[in-house]
Amino acid sequence: MTPPDAGMRQDDEGDAFAFRPDRLKLSRFAVPAACGVTHVVQVPGAARRAAAFRRMRDARSSEVAEDYVELVGDLIAEHGSARLTDLADCLGVAPATAAKALQRLQRDGLVETRPYRSISLTEAGEAMASASRERHRIVHEFLTALGVSGETAEADAEGIEHHVSPETLSLFEKMTERLRKGG
């Protein structure tokens, strides 16, 4: 049923759809149904699901930032400098992809870049890289204490380090100590 304030509209191709101004915040696009009229359906739990997806996107963005700043720090420590081409090569991405990520990191105050110069970490970037390395170390040690092979522990730690809570990380440390002491 279409509310009184809704009117029938036609899209660019002449298909009819119900214009629902009260629903614009839910969807930016009206999609014609098979009969030519859009039916607005309330999806149970949609807001909760959308919030969960938003958290996952934010977590993924944070994971990428942590990987980049950690790599910049490692390159500086190992080679004295970090260049865009080095980052792209190490991460297996196109230079344009690395450049876009660096722009976001610079916008977020984590790196400093200058044309034709080495990339450097800001104080915030150094803190993020250090925290990421520490989480990686703790997760890796926990996994190896459980008996996971070094190679597998390294790969698993790379993913887990970005998503582990401080509470879980603390328990990983305590459990690693117990396992190493034999109990």
CATH number at residue 140: 1.10.60.10
Mean pLDDT of the 84-104 span = 93
Q: Which residues contact 85 (CB under 8 A, 6 or more apart)?
A: 95
Residue 146 has pLDDT above 60, yes or no: yes
Amino acid occupying residue 151: E
Residues 72 and 115 in one domain: yes
Query: Which range marks the domain in which residue 38 is found?
Result: 1-42
Residues 58 and 38 in one domain: no
pLDDT in tens, 111-127: 999 888 899 999 999 99
State residue 5's pLDDT score: 46
Buried residues in 59-92 as b, exposed as e (16+ CB within 10 A):
eeeebebbbbbbbbbebbeeeeebbbebbbebee
How many domains does the structure of the chain reveal? Answer: 3
Among the candidates 90, 121, 152, a domain finishes at: 121
Q: Quick check: pTM over 0.85?
A: no
Contact present, 164 and 134 (Cβ < 8 Å): no
CATH number at residue 101: 1.10.10.10
Residues 130 and 114 in one domain: no
Higher pLDDT, 67 or 19: 67
Residues 54 and 38 in one domain: no
pLDDT in tens, 14-44: 555 555 555 444 443 444 555 555 555 566 6
Residues 51 and 104 in one domain: yes
Residues 104 and 166 in one domain: no
Helix (H, G, I), strand (E, B) or coil at 25: coil
Residues 60 and 91 in one domain: yes
State residue 124's pLDDT score: 96
Residue 183 has pLDDT above 90, yes or no: no
pLDDT in tens, 163-174: 889 999 999 999
